[in-house]
């Protein structure tokens, strides 16, 4: 603060050295952080090639768990449940979020403040709180809310549709409203206008929102562990349930499949967006929910 009216000094030798060092420090630090982020994932994948019966003690290299894992029907069922829940909840989240996002961007009014506040509240409420509440509520409601995929799907849609809403709103706000007005002037019905003009224009947002909703559903553990009815479990929650005891390398193998599958889905969506003319940085921004 004291330097407010100091005269700019000549770059001293010390400062030059400092600048050089700074030039090394930033990339070096970033590389270390990236290595840190990859370390545990590397070990998890490596342990799928362990010969021994647990992922916690390495003995020797073997691929036998990659074959054995397909016989673990509980685990396969959990994986299938995960995918089913993710697909259904993504579709619901996309419908809800796209409509709400459109309304927020195109029909702003007094209602927007309250609605945006609710959406943000959903995003910042600790999952443990809504998970606990949803459990109590579903226990009261009974019936379909305590059976099969329904409770898990419902719980996943809440958070992910909020995310889709914000992404779609941001996209629509950047579009020219006159395009839709032109469609209406040219006698397009609201439905035709929506499917032929609005939807193609917001498609990039719908795609990235859908990708996020899908991965958020696959990622969810906390709320799922609260509302899962007896006999239905997702893959992460199956692994969570095992975590007290021995975990066999087949779990690591299936986890690898799970991780790689998720990444393939993301790369596919990114490639579609890229062809649609978005830059890599833009894609990264939307994908990470910013």
Min dist CB 237 to other proteins, Å, is: 8
The region of 43-51, 64-72, 174-182, 200-208 touching other proteins under the rule CB under 8 A is: 43-51
**Closest of 134, 88, 157 to residue 226, by C-alpha:** 134
Contact set for other proteins, span 254-273 (CB under 8 A)? 255, 258-259, 262-263, 266
Q: Is 61 helix (H, G, I), strand (E, B) or coil?
A: strand
Site map (CB under 8 A) of other proteins, residues 234-253, x = contact: --xx-xx--x---x------
Q: Pick from 191, 230, 231, 275: which binds other proteins (CB under 8 A)?
A: 191
Give the Cα separation of 104 and 30 in Å (integer).
38
Q: Which two tokens stand for residue 156?
A: 């996943």
The region of 23-31, 64-72, 174-182, 200-208 touching other proteins under the rule CB under 8 A is: 23-31
Give the Cα separation of 236 and 240 in Å (integer).
6
Contact partners, residue 5, CB within 8 Å, separation at least 6: none
Contact set for other proteins, span 193-212 (CB under 8 A)? none
The verdict on 104 binding other proteins (CB under 8 A) reads yes
The verdict on 70 binding other proteins (CB under 8 A) reads no
Min dist CB 67 to other proteins, Å, is: 21
Min dist CB 269 to other proteins, Å, is: 11
Residue pair 93/157 in contact (Cβ under 8 Å)? The answer is: yes
Min dist CB 88 to other proteins, Å, is: 14
Burial of 234 (0-12, 13-18, 19+ CB in 10 A): buried
The verdict on 182 binding other proteins (CB under 8 A) reads no
The verdict on 276 binding other proteins (CB under 8 A) reads no
Min dist CB 6 to other proteins, Å, is: 8
The verdict on 12 binding other proteins (CB under 8 A) reads no
Q: Which two tokens stand for residue 132?
A: 């606990």
Contact set for other proteins, span 80-99 (CB under 8 A)? 95-97, 99
Min dist CB 112 to other proteins, Å, is: 8
Residue pair 165/213 in contact (Cβ under 8 Å)? The answer is: no
**DSSP structure string for 117-160:** HHHHHHHHS-HHHHHHHHHHHHHHH-GGGGSTTHHHHHHHHHHH
Contact set for other proteins, span 109-168 (CB under 8 A)? 109, 111, 115, 118-119, 121-130, 132-137, 139-140, 154-155, 157-158, 161-162, 165
Q: Pick from 75, 103, 149, 202: which binds other proteins (CB under 8 A)?
A: 103
Kindly provide the b/e burial profile for residues 134-150, where b requires at least 16 CB atoms within 10 angstroms of the residue's own CB: bbeebeeeeeebbeebb
Does an H or E element contain 30, and which?
Answer: helix 13-47
């Amino acid at each position: 603060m004291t330097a407010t009216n100091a005269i700019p000094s000549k770059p001293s030798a010390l400062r030059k050295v400092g600048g050089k060092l700074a030039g090394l420090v930033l990339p070096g630090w970033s590389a270390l952080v990236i290595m840190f982020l990859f370390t545990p994932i590397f070990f998890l994948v490596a342990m799928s090639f362990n010969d021994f019966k647990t992922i916690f003690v390495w003995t020797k290299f073997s691929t036998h768990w990659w074959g054995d894992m397909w016989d673990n029907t509980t685990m396969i069922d959990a994986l299938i449940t995960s995918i089913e829940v993710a697909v259904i909840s993504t579709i619901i989240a996309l419908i809800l979020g796209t409509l709400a996002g459109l309304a927020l961007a195109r029909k702003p009014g007094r209602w927007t403040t309250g609605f945006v506040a609710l959406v943000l509240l959903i995003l910042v409420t600790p999952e443990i709180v809504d998970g606990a509440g949803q459990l109590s509520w579903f226990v009261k409601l009974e019936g379909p809310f305590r059976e099969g995929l329904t409770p898990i799907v419902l719980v996943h849609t809440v958070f992910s549709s909020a995310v889709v809403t914000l992404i779609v709103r941001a996209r629509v706000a950047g579009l020219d409203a006159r395009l839709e007005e032109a469609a209406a002037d040219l006698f397009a019905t609201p439905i035709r206008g929506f499917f032929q003009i609005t939807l193609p224009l917001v498609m990039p947002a719908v795609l990235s929102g859908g990708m996020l909703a899908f991965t958020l559903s696959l990622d969810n553990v906390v709320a799922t562990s609260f509302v899962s009815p007896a006999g239905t479990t997702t893959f992460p929650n199956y692994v969570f349930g095992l975590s007290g005891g021995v975990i066999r390398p087949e779990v690591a193998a299936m986890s690898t499949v799970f991780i790689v599958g998720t990444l393939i889905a993301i790369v596919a969506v990114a490639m579609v967006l890229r062809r649609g003319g978005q830059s890599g940085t833009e894609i990264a921004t939307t994908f990470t929910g910013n």
